[in-house]
Amino acid sequence: MGLNAKGREMRFALKAGTSGALVAVLLSLGGCATQQAPIETKQAPQSQTEQKAAQASTLAQATATPTLKRKVALGRLSNETAYGQSLLRDKDGDPLGKQVTDLFSKALTESGAYLVFERPDISKVQAESQLAQQKLDLIGVDALIVGSLSEFGRKTVGSSGFASASKKQVAFAKVDIRLVDTRTGHVFFATSGAGEASNEVSSTFGFGSRAGYDGTLNDAAIRQAVSEAVSKLSTEMNRRPWSTAILKVEGGRIYISGGKSQGLQPGMTLAVQTAGEQIKSPQTGAIITLPGQKIAQLRVDALFGDNELNEGAVTSVVSGDLGKHPANSLVVLHEGGK
C-alpha cells in the first residue's frame, strides 16, 4: 500500500472516531435529562356533594336581618340649572327634571329597600282609576323626596403637539335631595350626588379617531349622580332599626305586618315593646316619643301574602306577655339574631 492510501485510511478513521464520540456525548446528555412527574390530582377528604351540602347549611344558619322597606314618594325633582331653559318652556316642560325623577324612581325600586309611590304623575293614575270606575286608595308615605338637578354642564378639552392631537368631551351633573317628614314637614336628611362622564379621541398626523357631539354623556353623568345620591340615602336609612306593627291578636297567634320581601323568615325572633308616651317639647314645639318598655318576645312561625304590600307573618309568644295592651299600642322590633 502506498503512502497516499495509508493517509486516506487514517483520515477516515479519525472522522469515524469523531462521529462516534459525538454520538456518545449526545447519548450521555440525553441520559442525564429528567422529565417532570405528572401532576397528581388529589380530592379533598369530603366529596363535592358533601361540600355543597355544608355550604348550604352554613347559609341557612346565617343570621337573617330583615330590611325595613320604607314608604317614600318622589315630589319635585326639577332642573334648576341654565341648561335646557328657554323663555318658551314652562315648568311642566322640564325634560331634565322628568329624567331625574324617572332615574330616582328606578334606582329606589331596584334597591329593594323602598316602597315607591307615584306622585308626579298622580293625575294620570287618578284619570285611569276613574276610567275603570275603581276607587283609588292612596297610601300615605313615611317621607317625601324633593330636590333638583343643581349643576349640569359640558366642556371640551384637548391638547395638540407636533404630530398628534386629542379631544375630550366631559359632562358633569350634580343632584341635591332632601327627605321631608310628611307628618311634620321637617327635613330630617339632606344629601347630594355627583357624576361625570367623558369621551376622548386622538389622532396622529391627521389620522385616527374622529367623533362628533356625544349626547349620551349627559345621560351617563346624570345617572351616576342619581346613583350616588340614592346610595347615601340608603346608608342613612339603614341606620334606623327595623320595626313593624301588630295587625291582630287571636288566641295564641299574633299577626304582624311584613313578610318574605322584607327579610322575615320562620324561626326569627322579634321583640315587642310598648309605644312610648308622646310629649310636646316646650323647646322645639315638636312631639317627642319617650322610650317604650319591652314586654315580650315573638317567634315567626309562618309567612303569608303574595306581594310586598299584603305580606304578613304569623308569630307566637316565646317569653313575656302582651298583657292587656291594645295591639295598636305595641311596636315590634328586630334586635338582631334569631
Query: For the segment 240-263, what is each residue's pLDDT rounded down to a tens digit?
Result: 777 889 999 998 899 999 888 888
pLDDT score recorded for residue 237: 78
For residue 314, what are the β-bridge partners? 255, 302
Average pLDDT, the chain: 76
Calculated CA dihedral for residues 98, 101, 103, 107, nearest 10 degrees: -170
How far, CA to CA in Å, does 62 sit from each of 65, 249, 273? 9, 30, 26
Tally of CB atoms within 10 A around 210: 9
Among the ranges given (188-197, 210-219, 221-230), the one the predictor scored with the smallest mean pLDDT: 210-219
**SS3 at position 134:** coil
- For residues 174 and 133, the model is more confident at 174
pLDDT score recorded for residue 330: 92
CA–CA dist 39, 187 (Å, integer): 66
Parse the chain into domains and list their residue ranges: 70-237, 243-333
Query: For the segment 56-90, what is each residue's pLDDT rounded down to a tens digit?
Result: 554 444 445 667 788 888 888 888 887 766 544 55
CA–CA dist 142, 317 (Å, integer): 29
Mean pLDDT of the region 167-193: 88
pLDDT score recorded for residue 98: 86
**If one looks up domain 70-237 in CATH, what number appears?**
3.40.50.10610
CA–CA dist 269, 295 (Å, integer): 14
Rounded to a whole number of angstroms, the distance between the first and last alpha carbons of the chain is: 111
Q: What is the DSSP letter of 140?
A: -
Q: Dihedrals φ, ψ of 169, to 5°?
A: -100, 130
Cell digits for 184?
Answer: 311634620
Mean pLDDT of the region 103-122: 83
Helix crossing, 216-237 with 95-111: angle to 10°? 40
Does 122 score more than 80 pLDDT? no
pLDDT score recorded for residue 61: 45
Does 39 score more than 50 pLDDT? no
Q: Identify whether the C-beta of residue 120 lies closer than 8 Å to the C-beta of residue 74.
A: yes
pLDDT score recorded for residue 201: 66
**243-333: CATH topology:** Thrombin, subunit H (2.40.10)
Do 243-333 and 70-237 have the same topology in CATH?
A: no
Does 31 score more than 70 pLDDT? no
Does 17 score more than 70 pLDDT? no
How far, CA to CA in Å, does 202 sit from each of 53, 159, 216? 55, 9, 19
pTM to 2 decimal places: 0.63
CA–CA dist 140, 142 (Å, integer): 7
Contacts of 15 (CB under 8 A, 6+ apart): none
Q: Dihedrals φ, ψ of 10, to 5°?
A: -65, -40
Among the ranges given (84-88, 90-94, 153-157, 225-229), the one the predictor scored with the smallest mean pLDDT: 84-88
pLDDT score recorded for residue 271: 94
Please report which confidence band the pLDDT of residue 142 belongs to, taking 50, 70 and 90 as the band edges: confident
Cα 194–229–90 angle (5° rounding)? 75
Contacts of 273 (CB under 8 A, 6+ apart): 292, 293, 294, 295, 330, 331, 333
